Structure formats: structure tokens, C-alpha cells
Structure 1
Amino acid sequence: MGEPSREEYKIQSFDAETQQLLKTALKAPSLECTAACFETDGEYSVCQRSYSNCPRLMPSRCNTQDRNPGAVDLEKVANVIVDHSLQDCVFSKEAGRMCYAIIQAESKQAGQSVFRRGLLNRLQQEYQAREQLRARSLQGWVCYVTFICNIFDYLRVNNMPMMALVNPVYDCLFRLAQPDSLSKEEEVDCLVLQLHRVGEQLEKMNGQRMDELFVLIRDGFLLPTGLSSLAQLLLLEIVEFRAAGWKTTPAAHKYYYSEVSD
């Protein structure tokens, strides 16, 4: 196996007890292992094969005992994933995939939604304390925004994004577009990355708020303190990205990505 991609995550960073907790929560005999095959040579990766036929799972991991996600405390699992997401921005970018897999496994095996309820409750708690989180740890704040956008991207109700997450996600992005945030490249980078990921979905759910968000972004260019060159470039790119129907034109790709690489 080559070097891990950005989407791979070394699950060994969890302690042994937590690793076992996550393994049990993710196991389901017939679930497509979108996240169940997360231990391959110590790397978290994605596999589209069925759980039972996946060659990357050793026989010792394929026994039938403890496959029921309900065998573990799924509320604890939700807290473990959120806690780790707030500390590790690489993990927060892909944790939604793991959460989706656990929700599917629990629904299939137990017909319940303990994990989803615990996850949403914890997201709400962190959302309500978002200003304190930002003041305490800028990295933790950026990780939280990345995580909640990732969850919004993956979780569906009747094949539609969860309405309950629309305004919280918008509120987080509006916070990133405030003058004091636009002066920090980490927050500008997070704002642009999340708009690339979920901007089109959010606009379909509430176009008026997206218009208001982009007014803030455009106003950012008039800040008296000014923006860094990288922040200006990122914000110009996302304005053009939305104007082009949430797509990157070949000319824009060539211009912006060559500028960033330079």
C-alpha cells in the first residue's frame, strides 16, 4: 500500500478501548462497509465492497459475535467521535462517513436511533457554546465547523439534508465571515472549504441566507485592516465558484490554483 491519502486516518490514535468500541459500533453483517473496513494496515479508508466479502477484513474480524451495534453504548460512541473531531481536523473532515455507517448499522440491526440522537444533542451543545470554543481554541472551532458541515453533508432524512442542521451550519459560516475571522487565514480557509462542500445544498435549503452570507464575504474586501493576499484569493475564488453555479470553470481552476501553488 502506498502513502495514505488525505481521506485515510490512522485509527491507532485512539486508545485500545475506544478502538474496540468503534469497531463494535460499526459492525453489521450485511452493511456495505463504507466505514466498517476502517482498519487496514492501521489506516482508516473506504471500501465499497459488502462487509462479508471484503478481502481487507481478516477472518478473525468476521466472526458473528458482538456484531450488533446495540451491544455498545452508542451515546458514548457519539461523544468519542465528537471529542476526537474537535481535536483533529483531519479526522473531522471524514468523521461524517463513520457516523453515517453507524447510523445505518444501528437502524438495520436494532431499528433505533440512539447514536443519531446522541450525536445531534452533542452537536447542539457545542453549537450553543461556539463562541466560548472559538475563544478557547481556534483549531477546535475550525474542527467543529468542519465536523458539523461533514455531518450535514452525509446525514439524510428521506434523501434530503437534515433541516435541523441548516441554520446551525449557516450560523457557523456567518461567524467565519465576520471581520475578526476574515483576518485569520485558518478561518477563511475553513469558510471556503465548507462552502465548496455544502454551499450548493445550503443554498437550495435557504437561498436568502446564502445571499446574505455572500454580502458579508464581499464586504470583507473593504475591511480597514485589510485581508492577507491568500485570504483575498480564497474569497475571490469562492465568489466566482458560486457565480458559476457552484462549479469551477477551467479558467478559474487554472488561475486560482496556480496562484495558490505559487
Structure 2
Amino acid sequence: MSIQLFDLRGKRALITGSSQGIGFALAKGLQEAGAEVVLNGRDEVKLKAAAAELGGVAILPFDVTDHQAVRDAIDAFEAQTGCFDILVNNAGMQHRTPLEDFPADAFERLMRTNVSSVFNVGQAVARHMIKRGRGKIVNIASVQTALARPGIAPYTATKGAVANLTKGMATDWARYGLQCNAIAPGYFETPLNAALMGDPQFSAWLEKRTPAGRWGKVEELVGACIFLASNASSFVNGHVLYVDGGITASL
């Protein structure tokens, strides 16, 4: 197999929620693989700082939970600048509370941020990809797509939804030349997991529970993303790729 299958030169990638954490790491990785990268988030100041750190990348600020704002931003970019060949739906949030006490507004916010955003941006970008007969969509799911832990039941529901929405995207759009897949990270060192990383008891439990015996590093997600964003995955569709140190394979 030629290494050229993984070459992203000449491709443009939009990564949502990419000013920090997993999104930023994936943006950097796709850039290093040759892609032209466009960062997205709601905070323009943070986006500009991230863009300055990477160098040579563009920013496209919009709220992924606002369907019309998403469509307007994508359509304007496609008309004025050029096409998106790759979309990474990474934007997401967490809220930890026992289910019996979980606030209704927090539940709705999780659904909008983690699920509606995938629909909003996925649909807006896919409409253009379909016209061209090609495109790559990579949704970020989670180890909680398959597993649950106390205090995060709504988050688990959202990530299960991301996996099934990914399958739906593939079912509807593969006929038009799109490949729609998901990456399901395990426990990684990110700002979203800062509270867990600072808990020695949890870290000790995680290291025993994970066959690899450690937290993941965000750079270890890059290879999976490049694979799913490149020609190397031309017949991979509707798949959820777990990158979790073996945690879903082991009791």
C-alpha cells in the first residue's frame, strides 16, 4: 500500500471545536499530513490564538448549535473561498451530575452541543460534497458510545447518538461518494477531562481498567483521523473506530 494513500495535500479540512484539546490536535495532525486547515469555534479570540500557534490556517467562527448560522457560514465560505473536502465534527461538552439530579437545561445543552451540532454542520457541508461527488466526514464519538459510567448518563446518550447518526450519514450519503465514519476516543489528557485527571483515585482506577495501563495522549488520535480523512479509507463507511487503549475490549 502506497503512503500516498494517506497524503492530504490539496485537501481542505474544517474541524469544529478546534481551539484546544482533541480538535486542536487533529487540526495540527491534518495540517502536517498536507491538508489546508480551517479552525472553528465560538470564541474568536481563542481561535485566533490557536491559528497563530499553528500558522498558515484559517478560522471560521460560528456556533455549531445554531442551524441557520452554520448553514450561512458554510455556504458563504464555499462561495467565496473554496470547498471543504474533509469535515471533522469534534465540538462537544461534558456535564457530570447524578442522573436523578441532572438539570433539564444541562441535558438540552448537551444534546445541542454534542448531537445537533453533528447534524447541523454535517448537513451543511454534505450538501456541497454531494454536488461534487466526494467528501470525508469524521465525527468524534467516545468510549461512552459503548460504555457508561455514573454521573454522565446524558453524555453517554449523546455519544451513542453520534455513532448512529454516523451510520445514518453513511447510509444516505455513500451513494454520492461520501465516506462518513467516527472515531471513539477513550480517556485522553484533555481540558474536558481535567477534573478526572486531577483525581488520583480515578486515574489509578483507569490505569488498572485500561489494558494499555495509562491515559491516552491526543496526538495518538491523529493517525486514525488521517486514515478516515484520506483515500486510504475509500471503502470504509459507517464505521466507529475505537482508539481507547483496549478499554472496550476488556472486562
Category of TM-score, reference length = shorter chain: 0.3 to 0.5
Q: Whose RCO is larger (CA < 8 A, sep 6+)?
A: 2
Q: Which has the higher strand share?
A: 2
TM-score between the two structures when normalised by the length of structure 2: 0.34
TM-score between the two structures when normalised by the length of structure 1: 0.33
Q: Which has the higher helix share?
A: 1
